Amino acid sequence: MARKGKARTTSGRSAEIPLLSDLMRTIRLVAFDFDGVFTDNAVYVFEDGSEAVRCFRGDGLGLEKLRGLGIDVAIISTETNPVVSARARKLGIPCVQNCKDKRAALEDMAREKGISLAEVAFVGNDINDLPCLTAVGFPVIVQDAHPDVIPYGRYRTTSPGGRGAVRELCDLFEGVLKAGAR
What length is written for the chain? 182
Mean pLDDT along residues 149-173:
97
In sequence order, which residues have a C-beta less than 8 Å from that of residue 30 and are 6 or more positions away? 66, 71, 72, 73, 74, 120, 121, 122, 123, 169, 173
Task: Kindly give, in sequence order, each residue whose CB lies less than 8 Å from that of residue 20, ignoring residues fewer than 6 positions away.
Answer: 154, 155, 176
Residue 48 DSSP SS3: coil
Sequential DSSP letters for 71-104? -EEEEE-S---HHHHHHHHHHT--EE-S-S-HHH
Q: pLDDT tens digits for 43-74?
A: 999 999 988 999 999 999 999 999 999 999 99
| Domains within the chain, CATH numbers bracketed | 18-181 (3.40.50.1000)
- Checking if the pLDDT of 8 tops 80, the result is no
Per-residue pLDDT band for 181 (boundaries 50, 70, 90) equals low
99-119: average pLDDT:
96
DSSP 52-63: E--B-TTHHHHH
Q: What is the DSSP letter of 5?
A: E
What does the pLDDT look like over 119-142, one tens digit per residue? 999 999 999 999 999 999 999 999
Share of residues in the chain with pLDDT > 70 (%): 88
Determine the pLDDT at residue 7.
Answer: 41
**Res 182: pLDDT:** 55
pLDDT band at 5 (very low <50, low <70, confident <90, very high): very low
Q: What pLDDT score does 11 carry? A: 42
